[in-house]
A and B are shown apart, each in its own frame.
Chain A
């Protein structure tokens, strides 16, 4: 009996050991090694339409260069950070990190200079791209310029804080100042604004865009930048004034369906009442990408004929040159021949034109063709801006940004809580900007 067992046992062991070894070797490795010239791994946070557009951008590159692009959608911005901390393998190309990590990663050599990636094409890139995205006097962590070198490649731009309207409903001239805007009388049954702040875990970000555009035009770029850097208190008069002005936009008198609707509506659907047979509101404040969402609900809308935008009205003429924009960027994390080629490709107008043609975005290059009259004008707004200021929350520590978004939701729901919310934000600020 024991001999039988011994035989069975040894066979089982062999099989088992073999299995274990195969499992250990075969598990979890993905294709593409270091120094590859045939494969490149890319992470992006895009989904849906944006992802399709990116895939269209990549197709000609793959065909022409014969390089395979392995694209993974990674939504959580912290995942890359986790990999960097753990020292595990990084994608070749991925968006740059939040501003608090930029300097650290550059110092550690995690991000490779764009000068290296683009080689001799670098000067063209600088010449062709919107200056606000690439010029800095000294270090600018927002656009990842450190020690005179650039570490992020700008590929797409959005302009935010545009006031969208239904051309067939609002036919007057665009208001010049914010007070003029508030004074407009909407037709019966409609309110001045529509708003939609819901966005899952990121709920509140559209509200933060609205308040960003207020503060940068009301109190200027110095206050705005200090605020992002944690040097301006939330309870300070400028920020408080910003919140109070914001509250006018979401008061039950001014917003469609009252604050509850603003809080419960997903941002993509917020513009629906603009085009309803009985319009629910006159204006929606949003970025350039919202046009795709309009067309999802009403496929027959034509840009320029049915809807249009005007720039955010002035709050303080001194600060009119401040425009809120954001940009999508990529950084190179592994210096491989294939990665360099992809970076160079994405810096060309050919690549960015494909993005632009997909609609819903501006490129980072100045000279692209916009068939959409809306985007043509938006490009002008971006080009003539004195300062293209980033979205504040995106560049605050994530604790702070999250608390910021939440505070906007809370004061929309309950305007009387403004002072206690601001005090809470100061508390968070004190802890969040500490380096520990």
Chain B
């Protein structure tokens, strides 16, 4: 009960506090000389946001990098030991390999399918309904999606009735059931597929919005000139959508590297399905903080190029403002 009260207080209290902060603070600031005002005010307003970001992201980031060079109990420096561990142990290397697989296939297929579905749906009258169907997995949690697909991939002994939808279909074609999540050839693709399934709707919605912005005159002109549909998609639509595709693509790449929930819930990383984030969590859960930090740093380094791309793109847009 008192927890509910605490929550209500937080919901009501925090905006009130901020309100007070603004109003009261502005009262004070307005009494200051003009030159000082212009200097203090912005920092005053931005302080909570900068403060939070600083405490929860900037400081920990730096601290994690430092920690990766120390031992787990944080009592002495061990230089590259944790990184050596990362690159020599088969488990951590497997997680690196798997993250790369996610990077390539998750990104490519979610964007590609998003594009294809957006284009296809554009041509039918029941577009909105179909869009809802495809988008449905997006708001649900990865935990729920993992459970949904765990049942789809279910495996029973050959000869017993199959309870998993996929193996039932396989059986309908006269084949033996496949242990999707156990077989090395199928388990990573299966997990990546669940990821793609969950996020394609997101890509589709964004791409569709841009698609609709393409002027019909351009397309009509091309059709009159004799181009067939495939050519139109390839030579006109895709290039015009390219900026949107890159934005969506970079978002997907970042997602792919951060993937945690799906492998964690569906296989707990067993049978070589571990990814960097689950590997890191395992190290953390067994109190190997420094090793977990090293794994985190490797993950971060993989993301840095995207950081640079994003920042550069942002700066370009700023110039256009």
Contact = CB atoms under 8 A, between A and B. Distances in A.
A273 B160 CA distance: 10
Contacts of B10: 19, 23
A: contact size bracket: 35 or more
B221 interface: no
Interface in A52-96: 76, 78, 81-82, 85
A257 B158 CA distance: 6
Interface string A1-36: 010011011101101111110110011000000000
Given A9-B24, A12-B23, A19 B16 contact: yes
Most buried by B among A10, A27, A261: A261
A410 interface: yes
Contacts of B14: 19
B155 interface: yes
Contacts of B73: 436
Contact of A261 (B19, B21, B155, B270): B155
Given A260-B155, A403-B91, A431-B85, A22 B23 contact: no
Interface in A191-232: 200-201, 203-204
B250 interface: no
Interface string B86-111: 00011100000000000000000000
A410 B271 contact: yes
Interface in B1-60: 2, 5-6, 9-10, 12-14, 16-21, 23-24, 27, 30
A264 B182 contact: yes
Most buried by A among B20, B21, B287: B20
B: contact size bracket: 35 or more
B179 A264 contact: yes
Nearest to A255: B157
B23 A264 contact: no
Nearest to A81: B287
Contact of A200 (B6, B85, B268): B268
Contact of A16 (B13, B71, B286): B13
Given A17-B17, A264-B182, A436-B73, A27 B6 contact: yes
A19 B17 contact: yes
B247 to A, nearest CB: 36
A236 interface: no
Contacts of B184: 413
A425 B233 CA distance: 53
A15 B13 contact: yes
A256 interface: yes
Nearest to A5: B23
A398 interface: yes
A425 B71 CA distance: 22
5 contacts: A16-B19, A19-B10, A19-B13, A398-B286, A428-B89
Interface of B: 2, 5-6, 9-10, 12-14, 16-21, 23-24, 27, 30, 71-73, 85, 89-91, 155-160, 179, 181-184, 268, 270-271, 282, 285-288
